Amino acid sequence: MTCRAVTGKIFCRHHMEGHPENRERFRLALSGVPHIVRRLDPVPAEERDLERVHRRQYLAWLRGMSAGECYIDFNTYVCGDSFEVARYAAGSAVLAAGEALDGHDCFALVRPPGHHAGPDRASGYCLLNNVAVAAAWALDSVDRVAILDWDLHHGNGTQEIFYASDRVLFCSVHQAEGYPGGGKPGETGEGAGRGYTLNAPLEPGAGIADYRLVFSDVFCPALGWFRPDLILVSAGQDALADDSKAVMRLRPGDYGILTRMLRETTDLPLALVLEGGYGPSLGRAVNAIFRALGGRPIPEEPSPPAARSTRDLVRMLKRVHSW
């Protein structure tokens, strides 16, 4: 395999016993990395990289809050190492983006996750927006970056950061009416960024046929129109049927199918960054992603057809976004 993985033991140091976003789910994700994949050591993000995305006052506040263990909102915690670990998560996302620009698929298996973090706030287990930091870093040297978010939850922080930009195409497929709210089809961007945000909220119970339809009829054509220089994936695998959230019906191999669809659309190497995923089959889903990146076949199981609500959503999105 020519793909790489960026990961390291430092990501176990952000931990709170009993919280679903803990080091055990990280170890489960790592169990899916094939032994033949080259592993790269994580690196911390530089301050200027963080400040492209996050306000300086917020970074200072977060650093101070990480002096001890506490909750900073109703579901997001910090401990003594959290700020340093988050810096390494963001820096490793940058490293994965650099590998992709150099021609190698790369998966940054990091934590804490990032796509809910906004310019001046932590949220939804997320402290720093890893994918956004990587995208902003890449825009120093390329013209256009696409971010595709397949996490169960809407990437509200990422959307907010790039909502007015025409240099970032943000595509999110997520649970309708789920946490954190928002992510509706009518949220398409503002100013120069109008039309560069695509939201596909799926009804609970969606399976691979629903996701596949969104990808084939909306996201992949948008990537073809946008012609990005880099594709970043907010890779949260919490839409698995055995996840503790248990509202979607994806199977581990389905993430390989989605990965293959993206890889074949533009032929660009992918930079993936771990987001959510809390079920027992998380490691198998990660393995399916690597199988797809390595060009290995992905077994496909029979599945129900796409729901009528998904077909209606896709028709609406094609009317709203005409490429």
- For 107-162, the pLDDT digits (tens) are 999 999 999 999 999 999 999 999 999 999 999 999 999 999 999 999 999 999 99
What pLDDT, on a 0 to 100 scale, did the predictor assign at position 299? Answer: 85
Q: What is the pLDDT of residue 39?
A: 98
User: φ and ψ at 247, to 5 degrees?
Assistant: -115, -15
- Quote the mean pLDDT of the chain: 97
The partner residues of 70 in beta bridges, in order of sequence, read: 78
Q: How many helices (H) and strands (E) does the chain have?
A: 11, 10
Pick the catalytic residue from 54, 115, 116, 174: 116
Please give the Cα distance from 214 to 206 (Å, whole number): 11
- Amino acid at the residue 16: M
Q: Which domains does the chain have, with CATH numbers?
A: 4-320 (3.40.800.20)
DSSP 109-149: --SS--TT-BTTB-BTTBSS-HHHHHHHHHTTT-S-EEEEE
Work out the end-to-end distance of the chain between its first and last CA atoms, rounded to an integer number of angstroms: 35
Which residue in 191, 226, 197 sits closest to 323, CA to CA? 226
pLDDT for residue 323: 66
Say if residue 164 is exposed, middle or buried (CB neighbours under 10 Å; 0-12, 13-18, 19+): middle
Out of 179-188, 252-261, 298-307, 310-319, which region has the weakest mean confidence (pLDDT)?
298-307
pLDDT band at 227 (very low <50, low <70, confident <90, very high): very high
Predicted local distance difference test score (pLDDT) of residue 313:
98
Interatomic CA distance for residues 238 and 233, integer angstroms: 14
At residue 147, the pLDDT reads: 99
Tens-digit pLDDT profile for residues 2-48: 899 999 999 999 999 999 999 999 999 999 999 999 999 999 999 99
- The answer to whether residue 116 is catalytic is yes
Give, in order, the Cα–Cα distances in Å from 85 to each of 12, 28, 45, 58, 290: 9, 18, 10, 16, 24
pLDDT surpasses 60 at 1: no
